[in-house]
């Protein structure tokens, strides 16, 4: 079944199931109302019959039924929420598959104009790789996916392990969707995880103080003894004295309690949800993927500990309830018991917690990548070659262009040529081809399938100069901004790293002669380093560099043709330097000149 057909089927199934759950909730609502009415009736008869305990006992049956129905009702409500989340997920998936329009977060907040390639390769923002790929539900997962797309992997073995993880998760449709839905239901807030880490960094104030551990048990016993003494002798001074001592102890610790409570208050829901995500990971059997097995082992240990933290946090939040805060604190030093339990948890799991959260982040990233792979079954996993620096591919297309509109081309760099100079007229497809190659290289170096018939590449840093912008706020002209980007590329090359360079019409901010001279010298400078590159240009004179460096530079072009007063493009790359021009023709056609 094709992805779009599967999403249609899921939408219909979830709509039907939602309707059934809603009917069930309506029925449970009426039953709950009847049970409540039964309790009220028995209570009424109890008082009307001069406290006949028969009616009181009779009222226990509808009361027990009310509790059972209430628990069932809340369970069905949770199920309804999950089903609606899954329905929304599949509707977004169907819309993306049918129209190419993503309803998922596009990661625009992660955009960085200073980044070496994300702006030029449409990594973030509307109609971006992130928007098509992102299935994260937590804020930390969203950031982890953005970080992954900002940095290609440079270890060939690890890239292959990532491929294994994506391959194994791709067919696990139900697990992937459940994980995405539950992740989105965590409703993580920006201060949740930072607050948790800040709490972890605080020094211990309760668990390592022996006198607090003693008094939290001794004082309630003494207070109980004072109460017994009061009932036996009608003397309340002991009870009052011990009660005042309890208040004094609590008063001396209240600032420390409040400081910690402020950092983790009202977080039991997210802790519980994170524990459930870890539970899902631990229950999904990993077969061949080494990375999945490693993360699963951590998840098994983590889920119970996070559930425990959720329970302790929930108990601590009850101190805000007037009854508990006043009564239980006064009699049993409730705050101390909660804080000591909390700090004991911290002592035990402080070092492990970051690793547990990292498991969730990684799984959200792999889940997003696997969903991307599932949505593009025609894509292939590239071969990673670490022995020689090269990029050789056939049938390369842009991953964001619909298959029926995508024109595919072949490319070979590093076998043996080091740079391709690509010429062509306006709108002929030069820039799109550069972005197609760059985007697929990025996908391949993150362990994802690529839009190509075959694809072999080496681990390389990706650096581009294609959409450079000036900045009035930073007092940076377009030309200066472009020079700064080229300087950034050269500095990375000087560091000895392998780099794949994509340049589109460089040095536009200067005159033609200076531009040609500067472009030549720049390419010659690049040839000194361990890099491959593609340069799209209108400067046909750059094509003569192939004559000077026949083994290192090769000319390719995109052509346009004019037939019967109409302009046509085939978007096919061919060897040689472009011959046709279309700027004057288009200006005449549009009656500009």
Note the pLDDT tens digit of each residue in 213-269: 888 898 888 888 888 888 888 888 888 888 898 889 888 888 888 888 888 877 777
- The confidence score (pLDDT) of residue 562 equals 67
Task: Say whether both 392 and 370 belong to one domain.
Answer: no
Confidence at residue 137, expressed as pLDDT on a 0 to 100 scale: 93
Please give the Cα distance from 212 to 214 (Å, whole number). Answer: 5
- Helices marked H in 100-172 — which ranges? 129-133, 139-150, 156-169
Judgement on whether residues 16 and 76 belong to the same structural domain of the protein: yes
Q: Note whether 268 and 415 are same-domain residues.
A: no
Residues 400 and 490 in one domain: yes
pLDDT digits (tens, 9 = 90+) for 422-434: 988 778 788 999 9
278-335 residue pLDDT tens? 888 888 877 777 777 778 777 877 888 888 888 888 888 888 777 777 888 888 889 8
Tell whether 166 is covered by a domain: no
* Average pLDDT, integer, range 516-520: 87
Report DSSP letters for 465-492, one per residue.
Answer: ESS---BTTTTB-HHHHHHHHHHHHHHH
Same domain, 298 and 218: yes
Q: Is 359 exposed, middle or buried (0-12, 13-18, 19+ CB in 10 A)?
A: buried
> Is 452 or 539 the better-scoring residue by pLDDT?
452
Q: Please list, in sequence order, all residues whose beta carbon lies within 8 angstroms of the beta carbon of residue 416, skipping any fewer than 6 positions away.
A: 551, 552
Q: What is the CATH number of the domain that holds 451?
A: 3.40.50.300
Alpha carbons within 13 angstroms on the beta-carbon side of residue 28 total: 19
Q: Is 149 inside a domain boundary?
A: no
Query: Which helix H or strand E contains 273, and what residues bound it?
Result: helix 268-283
The count of structural domains within the chain is 3
Hey, what are 196's tokens?
A: 């948790």
List pLDDT tens digits, range 164-194.
999 999 999 999 999 999 999 988 888 888 8
393 and 248 co-located in one domain: no
Percent of the chain at pLDDT exceeding 70: 95
Residue 233 CB coordination number (10 Å): 9
CA angle 391, 396, 402 (to 5 degrees): 150
State the Cα–Cα distance between residues 194 and 344, nearest whole angstrom: 20
pLDDT tens string 34-48: 998 988 888 887 787
The torsion of the CA quartet 45, 51, 54, 56, rounded to 10 degrees, works out to: 70
Sheet holding 391-396, edge to edge: 383-384, 454-457, 391-396, 409-413
547: tokens are 């004559």
Contact 123, 409 (CB under 8 A): no
Between 577 and 46, name the one with better pLDDT: 577
Distance between CA 483 and CA 338 in Å, rounded?
59
Query: What confidence score (pLDDT) does residue 281 get?
Result: 87
What does the alpha-carbon distance between residue 549 and residue 531 come to, in Å, rounded to a whole number?
Answer: 15
Domain that holds residue 469: 383-589
Based on the fold, state whether residues 248 and 339 are members of the same structural domain.
yes
- Specify whether the CB–CB gap between 409 and 451 falls below 8 A: no
106-137 tens-digit pLDDT: 999 999 888 999 999 999 998 899 999 999 99
Is position 173 within any domain? no
Query: How many angstroms separate the Cα of 574 from the Cα of each of 428, 441, 474, 501, 502?
Result: 12, 21, 41, 20, 18
Last residue of a domain, one of 64, 99, 134: 99
Sign of the dihedral through C-alpha 424, 425, 427, 431: positive
Beta bridge partners of 554: 420
The rounded percent of the chain whose pLDDT value lies above 90 is 43
pTM (2 d.p.)? 0.88
* Phi, psi values for residue 117, rounded to 5°: -150, -15
Is 69 within a domain?
A: yes
Residue 14, both tokens: 């979830």
Residue 11 in any domain: the answer is yes
pLDDT for position 329 = 86
Closest CA to 406 of 559, 558, 572: 572
Q: Do the domain assignments include residue 363? A: yes
Measured distance CA(320)–CA(21) in Å, rounded: 35
370 and 465 assigned to the same domain:
no
Which residue, 77, 99, 121, sits at the end of a domain? Answer: 99
Q: Is residue 387 located within the same domain as residue 369?
A: no
- How far, in Å, CA of 307 to CA of 400, rounded? 41
265 belongs to a structural domain:
yes
Last residue of a domain, one of 331, 353, 374: 374
- Give 392's strand partners: 412, 456
Query: CA-to-CA distance for 18 and 397, rounded, in angstroms?
Result: 40
- Give the pLDDT confidence score for residue 413 in this predicted structure: 92
Co-location of 429 and 576 in the same domain = yes
Together in a domain, 436 and 358:
no
In residues, how long is the chain? Answer: 593
- Over 513-581, what HEC string results? HHHHHHHHHHHHHHCCCCEEEEEEECCHHHHHHHHHCCCCEEEEEEEEEEECCEEEEEEEEEECCCCCC
Query: Would residue 185 count as lying in a domain?
Result: no
* Token pair for 359: 């498991």
pLDDT band at residue 475 under the 50/70/90 scheme: very low
Give the confidence band of 543 by pLDDT, cuts at 50, 70, 90. confident
In 3D space, the residue among 157, 159, 150, 163 whose CA is nearest the CA of residue 461 turns out to be: 150
Per-residue pLDDT tens over the stretch 375-402: 999 999 999 988 888 999 999 999 999 8
Asked if residue 492 and residue 350 are part of one domain, the reply reads no
């Amino acid at each position: 079944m094709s992805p779009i057909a599967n999403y249609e089927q899921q939408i219909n199934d979830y709509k039907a199931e939602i309707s059934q759950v809603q009917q069930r909730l309506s029925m449970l609502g009426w039953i709950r109302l009847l049970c409540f009415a039964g309790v009220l009736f028995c209570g009424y008869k109890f008082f009307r019959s001069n406290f006949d305990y028969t009616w009181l006992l009779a009222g226990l049956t509808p009361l027990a039924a009310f509790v059972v129905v209430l628990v069932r009702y809340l369970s069905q409500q949770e199920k309804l929420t999950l089903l609606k989340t899954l329905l929304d997920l599949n509707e977004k998936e169907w819309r993306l598959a049918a129209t190419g329009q993503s309803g998922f977060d596009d990661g625009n907040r992660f955009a960085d104009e200073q980044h070496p390639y994300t702006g030029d390769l449409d990594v973030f923002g509307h109609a971006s790789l992130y928007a098509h790929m992102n299935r994260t539900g937590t804020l930390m997962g969203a950031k982890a996916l953005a970080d992954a797309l900002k940095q290609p992997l440079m270890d060939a073995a690890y890239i292959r392990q990532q491929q294994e993880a994506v391959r194994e998760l791709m067919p696990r449709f139900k697990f992937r969707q459940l994980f995405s839905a539950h992740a989105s239901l965590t409703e993580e807030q920006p201060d949740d995880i930072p607050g948790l880490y800040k709490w972890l960094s605080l020094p211990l104030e309760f668990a390592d103080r022996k006198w607090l551990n003693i008094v939290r048990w001794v004082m309630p016993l003494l207070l109980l003894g004072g109460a017994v003494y009061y009932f036996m002798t009608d003397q309340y001074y002991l009870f009052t004295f011990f009660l005042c001592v309890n208040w004094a102890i609590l008063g001396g610790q209240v600032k420390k309690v409040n400081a910690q409570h402020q950092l983790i208050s009202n977080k039991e829901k997210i802790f519980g949800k994170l524990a459930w995500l870890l539970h899902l990971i631990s229950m999904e059997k990993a077969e061949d993927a080494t990375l999945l097995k490693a993360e699963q082992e951590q998840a098994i240990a983590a889920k119970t500990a996070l559930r425990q933290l959720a329970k302790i946090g929930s108990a601590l939040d009850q101190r805000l309830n007037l009854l508990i805060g006043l009564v239980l604190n006064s009699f049993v030093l409730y705050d101390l018991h909660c804080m000591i339990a909390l700090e004991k948890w911290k002592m035990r799991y402080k070092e492990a917690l970051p690793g547990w959260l990292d498991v969730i982040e990684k799984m959200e990233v792999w889940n997003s990548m696997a969903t991307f792979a599932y949505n593009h079954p025609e894509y292939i996993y590239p071969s990673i070659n670490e022995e020689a620096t090269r990029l050789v591919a056939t049938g390369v297309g842009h991953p964001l262009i619909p298959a029926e509109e995508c024109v595919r081309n072949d490319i070979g760099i590093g076998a043996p040529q080091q740079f391709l100079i690509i010429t062509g007229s306006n709108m002929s497809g030069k820039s799109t081809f550069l972005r197609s190659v760059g985007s697929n290289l990025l996908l391949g170096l993150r362990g994802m399938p690529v839009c190509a018939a075959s694809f072999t590449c080496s681990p390389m840093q990706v650096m581009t100069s294609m959409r450079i912008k000036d900045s009035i706020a930073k007092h940076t002209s377009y030309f200066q901004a472009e020079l700064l980007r080229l300087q950034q590329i050269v500095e990375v090359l000087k560091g000895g790293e392998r780099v794949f360079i994509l340049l589109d019409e460089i040095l536009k901010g200067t005159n033609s002669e200076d531009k040609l001279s500067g472009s030549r010298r720049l390419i010659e400078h690049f040839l000194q380093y361990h890099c491959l590159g593609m340069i799209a240009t209108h400067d046909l004179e750059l094509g003569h560099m192939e004559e000077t460096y026949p083994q290192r530079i090769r000319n390719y072009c995109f052509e346009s043709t004019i037939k019967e007063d109409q302009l046509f493009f085939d978007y096919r790359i061919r060897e040689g330097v472009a011959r046709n021009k279309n700027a004057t023709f288009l200006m005449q056609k549009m009656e500009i000149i």
